[in-house]
Amino acid sequence: MDSLAAPLEVMARPQLDLELRGIRKRYGDFTAVDGVSLQVEKGQFVCLLGPSGCGKTTTLRCVAGLEEPDDGGILIGGNEVTKDPPWQRDIAMMFQDFALFPHMTVAKQVGFGLEMLKKPKVGIAKRVEEVLKAFEISALADRKPGSLSGGQRQRVALARAMITEPRILLLDEPVGALDYSLRETVMLELKLLQQRTGISFIWVTHDQNEAFSLGDLVVVMNHAKIEQQGTAEEILRRPATAFVASFVQGNNVFRGRVTGTSPDVLQVETSAGRFYVPRPPDPAPMLGDAVSFSVRAEQITDAPSQRQANRLTARCTAVEYFGAVRRHIFERCDGEVLKYDQFGAHAARIVSGQTVQLGWQVEETVLHTGAPG
């Protein structure tokens, strides 16, 4: 095997396209990015997800070199680039409103990157033609951005960024400016493009559907920090903090204090009642510690049996339909909202105004082990 001949170090650490080492960025009193560390493997699709103002765009701009972090390091392809200007980095970027040059034709625009790399003119013209064809915008070659539709602009911006074949493509809300009906098609195309080219994508979005359907790695940010990073499934199934649990759709979050411990289970007293959660490996919360936990809306049942040890009684205030899912909104005794999802087409058993007992299994309860948000 060839790999046996490779130096041990390389084998031990797969090549990283991007590494952020505790980057920090302040604007006066406001901390935009606070110690963000991230490792992006070669050809990975990473989504930075978070509410507006959480620091995801600033992080992206630091990677692009458009902002210089006050602290920390940035490595692209293993090379330290923290102080390098954007034009010396092996990246390309797609901007939220596409930032097309209004005075250049589509062909000129798409060839701009190659022109900057001082490629021969004939070669540029040929490559531009190929790329325009690949992105199905050949017909627009002589048009200026002012006369293009949103979808066409998006394609031009993408072609302009991809033509230089960067190591990493940074995308700042790339489909945010598109019509809703266009988004899913474009997202799928981008995902396929990313898989075909093997270029790492770093996609900034506030839309969790985008992040969960596209990202190999989803990084959830809040208040300038990373709350959790993992696959979509990890983040959906096992939210690490109360923030992630409440930011991600379909979770019911509870906060309380530990009032009893056993080797397997913690007893937590909350304003909505007493519940049991699986005890995590040490260091587990101690008696009296403040903790938060969550349970997904689809894990709840309205006919709890012996197995559903966590129970509460609540009044249904609304029933919503989402295709295959029927979502019931309940009011807990402490006034907070509880969501309960029912799959399948069976007849509605609960109507608005009804008070019922709900329950779920202790194993389905997720204790938040990250720092409480």
Partner 1 sequence: MSTIRVRSPASYWLAVPAAAWMLGVVVVPIVLLVWVSLWGGRTFSPASPLTFDNYARFFANQTYIKLAGTTVMHTVMLMAVTGVLGYCIAYCLVMKVRSPGWRLALFLAFIIPFWTSTLIRAIAWVPFLGVNGVINQLLMSIGATRSPIEAFLYSKTGITMAQVSLYTMMAAGPVVYMLSSIAPQLREAAMTLKATPLTVFWRIVFPLTLPGVVIGQVLVFLNVMSDFATVATIGGNKHALLSNLVLLFYESSQIRAASVVAVLLMICMLVGVIIALRVVDVRRLGVER
Site residues (CB under 8 A) for partner 1? 64-66, 85-87, 89, 91-93, 95-97, 99-103, 112-113, 116-117, 144, 146, 160-161, 164, 170
In the complex with partner 1, the residue whose CB is nearer, 103 or 126, is: 103
Alpha-carbon distance of 136 to 134, in angstroms, equals 5
**Please, what is the minimum distance in Å from the beta carbon of residue 172 to partner 1?**
9
In the complex with partner 1, the residue whose CB is nearer, 95 or 301, is: 95
Using alpha carbons, list the distances in angstroms from residue 98 to 2, 40, 93.
44, 24, 9
Query: Is there a contact between 203 and 124 (Cβ–Cβ < 8 Å)?
Result: no
**Please, what is the minimum distance in Å from the beta carbon of residue 130 to partner 1?**
18
**Please, what is the minimum distance in Å from the beta carbon of residue 120 to partner 1?**
16
In the complex with partner 1, the residue whose CB is nearer, 56 or 296, is: 56
Which residues neighbour 208 within 8 Å (Cβ) at sequence distance 6 or greater?
49, 247, 248, 249
3-state secondary structure 144-160: CHHHCCHHHHHHHHHHH
Using alpha carbons, list the distances in angstroms from residue 52 to 24, 185, 209, 357.
18, 24, 16, 37
Alpha-carbon distance of 49 to 23, in angstroms, equals 17
In the complex with partner 1, the residue whose CB is nearer, 70 or 184, is: 70
Using alpha carbons, list the distances in angstroms from residue 212 to 100, 196, 209, 220, 311.
28, 20, 5, 11, 30
Number of helices (H) and strands (E) in the chain: give both, helices first: 9, 19
Taking Cα atoms as reference points, which of 353, 350, 327, 352 lies closest to residue 340? 327
**Please, what is the minimum distance in Å from the beta carbon of residue 168 to partner 1?**
11
**Please, what is the minimum distance in Å from the beta carbon of residue 253 to partner 1?**
37
In the complex with partner 1, the residue whose CB is nearer, 103 or 349, is: 103
In the complex with partner 1, the residue whose CB is nearer, 161 or 226, is: 161
DSSP annotation of 301 reads: B
In the complex with partner 1, the residue whose CB is nearer, 100 or 242, is: 100
Exposure of 111 by Cβ count < 10 A (0-12 exposed, 13-18 middle, 19+ buried)? buried
Query: Is there a contact between 228 and 54 (Cβ–Cβ < 8 Å)?
Result: no
**Please, what is the minimum distance in Å from the beta carbon of residue 102 to partner 1?**
5
In the complex with partner 1, the residue whose CB is nearer, 177 or 325, is: 177
**Please, what is the minimum distance in Å from the beta carbon of residue 85 to partner 1?**
7
**Please, what is the minimum distance in Å from the beta carbon of residue 98 to partner 1?**
8
